[in-house]
Amino acid sequence: MNILGIDIGGSAVKGAPVDTRTGKLLAERLRIETPGKVSPQRMGEIVASIAEHFRWRGRIGAGFPGVVQGSTIRTSANLHEKFVDCDLGAIIEKATRRRARIINDADAAGVAEMRFGAGRGQKGAVLMLTLGTGVGSALFWRGVLQPNTEMGHLPIRGKSAEKFIAASARRIRDLSWKEWGAELGDYVRILEKILWPELIIIGGGVSDKHRKFFKYMKTRAPLVPAEFFNDAGIVGAALAGTGKV
Ligand code: BGC
């Protein structure tokens, strides 16, 4: 089935049609910058413009950086607070006149990696972390997703862990790869004590620089970079759009 996958992020919304049997993008992705915090209605219009660009007539799957229950958003740490408790699925369906499903962005990335990437064939507990503006997590057992794990909000020194260990925090705090990698390692070891994953996948834009920081992380479980790098969110959102995730 071909689905239009949309990855809603803090600085941009990205989309492309995806062949959900292979995980391949069927066209070059479109990226629309979103300067400032956009409202849910405006987000609906942005998604509609992406659908229009691809002359899309089929279903849509969209990943959102917050807790998602059904098609309703429950948290919005890095986007407009107006998203909280709004039915984003209904807004997108109204704006595009297409069927739409919503999934947490890190869950989407994890689903793509489990199906087609670094987690392929893994039957044990797998933890995927996405390091970007925030920190997202996706947890799998026997390939099945436990949705909305929010490991980026584990409290550390009185704040959400993502304030210290997101990729954005490395730049804001002006940390070296070694300093940041060591802090990230400490954080991942806390998660290991609680969740006991058998494989840890690190995604997000920084994952292609994993050689710079994996060496400072001492984890028990094998640590691997995501294979999809930047497109996992789009591919996983499209998989969610099938209604079978
Ligand atoms: C949100 C998560 C999201 C992550 C990455 C966090 O702030 O709470 O839901 O997956 O950022 O975007």
On whether residue 113 sits in a domain, the answer given is: no
Task: Tell me: do 189 and 163 sit in the same domain.
Answer: yes
Clarify whether residues 45 and 57 are in a common domain. yes
Positions of E strands within the chain: 2-8, 12-19, 24-25, 30-33, 60-64, 68-69, 72-73, 100-104, 125-131, 135-141, 144-146, 155-156, 159-160, 199-203, 223-225
Is the domain of 22 the same as that of 47?
Answer: yes
Could you tell me if 138 and 195 lie in one domain?
yes
Ligand 1, CB cutoff 6 Å, lining residues: 65-67, 75, 77-78, 104-106, 130, 132, 134-136, 150, 152-153, 162
Provide the residue-wise pLDDT of the chain in tens; the chain has 245 residues. Answer: 999 999 999 889 999 999 999 999 999 999 999 878 899 999 999 999 999 999 999 999 999 999 999 999 999 999 999 999 999 999 999 999 999 999 999 999 999 999 999 999 999 999 999 999 999 999 999 999 999 999 999 999 999 999 999 999 999 999 999 999 999 999 999 999 999 999 999 999 899 999 999 999 999 999 999 999 779 999 999 999 999 88
DSSP state, 39? P
- Probe target for ligand 1 pocket from 67, 73, 75, 78, with the most ligand atoms within 8 Å of CB: 78
* 180 and 194 within one domain: yes
Q: How many CB atoms lie within 10 A of CB 78?
A: 17
Kindly state whether residues 61 and 139 are assigned to the same domain: no
Q: Is 114 inside any structural domain? A: no
**For 182-185, which contacts have Cβ atoms below 8 Å and span 24 or more sequence positions?**
182/216, 182/217, 184/131, 184/213, 184/216, 184/217, 185/216, 185/217, 185/218, 185/219
Residues spanned by the domain of 194: 121-229
Q: Which of 11, 69, 135, 163 to mutate to test the pocket of ligand 1 (most atoms within 8 A of CB)?
A: 135
β-strands 60-64, 2-8 pairing? parallel
Read off the tokens for 127: 């933890």
**Quick one: pLDDT at residue 130?**
97
Whether residue 95 sits in one domain with residue 26: yes
Look up tokens 């064939």; give the residue. 121
Quick one: 236 and 222 in the same domain? no
Instruction: Tell whether 70 and 167 lie within a shared domain.
Output: no
Q: Say if 74 falls within a structural domain.
A: yes
Atom index in ligand 1 nearest the CA of residue 9 equals 12
- The span from the CA of 115 to the CA of 109, in Å, is 10
Mutate to test the pocket of ligand 1, among 104, 107, 131, 164 (most ligand atoms within 8 A of CB): 104
Whether 91 is covered by a domain: the verdict is yes
Quote the ligand 1 centre to 77 CA distance (angstroms). Answer: 7
Are 106 and 137 spatial neighbours (Cβ–Cβ below 8 Å)? yes
Q: How far is the CA of 29 from the centre of ligand 1 (A)?
A: 22
Residues 100 and 191 grouped into a single domain: no
- Do 225 and 237 lie in one domain? The reply is no
Count up the domains in the chain and report the number.
2
Number of Cβ atoms within 10 Å of the Cβ of 57:
9
Q: Is residue 115 part of a domain?
A: no
CATH number for position 236 = 3.30.420.40
- Report whether 31 contacts 7 (CB < 8 A): no
Pair (128, 222) in one structural domain: yes
